[in-house]
Amino acid sequence: MSRIGKKEIKITNDIEIKINKHNISVKGNKGNLSYNLSELINIKQTENIIKLIPKNSSQKAREIHGLSRSIINNMIIGVSKGFEKKLVIQGIGYRSQVEKKTLILNVGYSHSVQIEPPENIKIEVKNNTNILISGINKEIVGQVAAKIRSIRPPEPYKGKGIRYEKEKIKRKVGKAGK
């Protein structure tokens, strides 16, 4: 049995949840999200609590049990508070800017890299080197942040590149000169 799946999901008063067989839609003050639950999981809702119960004890049902609970919980957090990821650009001459909704990165290539964010994702740039990605869907926010980071990942010698805000870069020692 999944330990995460056993936990109850608490719902606050400002969130509205509709359950249609295996489709769950969550509506809050930031927006609305929906998720199609697997046929292997039953859902029970009381006043302010949602509980997920697997139909059988098969390997697949146990796998999906915890995953479904986490996704539904993240949907509830997303429509009430939202999610954000912070990226930091390090390197001489490296900078970023936002024009309309497009993120433009100048990170040492001969051309500037442009990234169009998906809908419901907001990208802000502060001080040309700090990028803030925010939205209601945790999965998409993380995906966009990983995509931006992959353009110029931090290198181990000087630490130049794009990294997450609190990410530690393991530094290497360069060549010893004679």
Write the secondary structure of the chain as one string of H (helix), E (strand) and C (coil). CCHHHHCCEECCCCCEEEEECCEEEEECCCCEEEEECCCCEEEEECCCEEEEEECCCCHHHHHHHHHHHHHHHHHHHHHHCCEEEEEEEECCCCEEEEECCEEEEECCCCCCEEECCCCCEEEEEECCCEEEEEECCHHHHHHHHHHHHHHCCCCCCCCCEEEECCCCCCCCCCCCCC
CATH number of the domain where residue 150 is located? 3.90.930.12
Residue 48 sits in the same domain as residue 91: no
170 in any annotated domain: no
144 and 72 belong to one structural domain: no
- Do 90 and 65 share a structural domain? no
Cβ within 8 Å of residue 154, ≥6 positions away: 90, 160, 161, 162, 163, 167, 169
Residue 135 and residue 66 share a domain: no
- End-of-domain residue from the set 80, 107, 136: 80
Is 130 inside a domain boundary?
yes
Cβ neighbours of residue 102 closer than 8 Å, sequence gap 6 or more: 114, 115, 116
Residue-number span of the structural domain to which 19 is assigned: 3-80
pTM of the predicted protein model:
0.86
- The whole-number pLDDT of residue 137 equals 93
Asked whether residue 93 falls in the same domain as residue 156, the answer is yes
Domain end: 80, 109, 128, which one?
A: 80
Within this chain, do residues 67 and 115 fall inside the same structural domain, yes or no?
no
Task: Say yes or no: 89 and 56 in one domain.
Answer: no
Report the C-alpha gap between 68 and 85 in whole angstroms.
23
- Say how many domains are in the chain: 2
Residue at 174 is within a domain = no
Same domain, 58 and 112: no
- pLDDT for the residue numbered 2: 61
The predicted structure's pLDDT at residue 102? 92
Domain check: are 64 and 117 in the same one?
A: no
The answer to whether residue 172 is domain-embedded is no
d(CA 131, CA 67): 29
Q: pLDDT tens string for the chain (178 positions)?
A: 568 888 888 888 888 999 888 899 999 999 899 999 988 888 888 888 988 888 888 888 888 988 999 999 999 999 999 999 999 999 899 999 999 899 999 998 899 999 999 988 999 999 999 999 999 999 999 999 999 999 999 999 988 999 999 989 899 988 877 6
